[in-house]
Structure 1
Amino acid sequence: MPTLLTQHDVADFDAWRAVFAGHQDNRRAHGATAHHIYRDGSTVVVLTDFPTRAAIEAFLADPALVRVSAAAGFLAPPVTRIVDPVDVEVY
């Protein structure tokens, strides 16, 4: 299952989180099955699982994402990558 890795710096984490939460139905409409949020100060990393690469590409091309990004308070354009799991081990 491919994962969309998104990293961005935000001006206000709580404001960003509210915008992110408000976009959940759109992520689900594109097939997203889960997300994980990591934070280090103003840097936020989000891993979002999708069933296929095509679903991720469709999500990234959705015009709604541009509108949400404008409201999210990014300090710089986000960096995105599509990654595939190679190994998972639970300790």
Structure 2
Amino acid sequence: MPYVLIIHEVADYDAWKQIFDDAAELRREAGERDYQVLKYANNPHKVVHFSSWTSLENARHFFESPQLVKIRAKAGVRSPEFIYLEQLESGSLGDGD
């Protein structure tokens, strides 16, 4: 399964999150299937968006589009880093009992 890991700094998390949520339908139509939003434990302005996609080609096309460049600017995103990933394996270690 293809994944995208995006690390970026946001000026205001709440403002960024509103724009992120407003773009949910755009992301779904582009091929995003599932996502997680995380933050650095020591820096609330560093946000990680981890998502699964229908294809890496769809993800690249979406994230590199002029429309997304404008949305990121409006959301106060600084210096995004995009990491495109293919899954090799996954597993669960259970609860240890």
Query: TM-score if structure 2 supplies the norm length?
Result: 0.84
User: Percent identity of the aligned residues?
Assistant: 27
Letter in 2 for 1:85: Q
TM-align CA RMSD: 1.2
Total equivalences in the alignment: 90
Question: Residue 28 of structure 1: SS of its match in structure 2?
Answer: helix
Instruction: Quote the residue 2:86 is aligned against.
Output: 84
Worse-matched range after superposition: 33-42 or 56-65 = 56-65
Q: CA deviation at 1:72?
A: 1.0
Gaps of 5+ in 2: none
**CA-to-aligned-CA distance 1:24-76 (integer Å, 9 cap, x gap):** 111111111111111122110001111111111211232210111011112x3
Instruction: Quote the residue 1:16 is aligned against.
Output: 16
The structure that has the greater radius of gyration is: 2
- Tell me how far apart the structure 2 counterparts of residues 49 and 71 of structure 1 sit (CA, whole Å): 24
* Higher-strand-fraction structure: 2
Gaps of 5+ in 1: none
Instruction: Quote the residue 1:28 is aligned against.
Output: 28
Match status 1:7 vs 2:10: no
Letter in 1 for 2:90: V
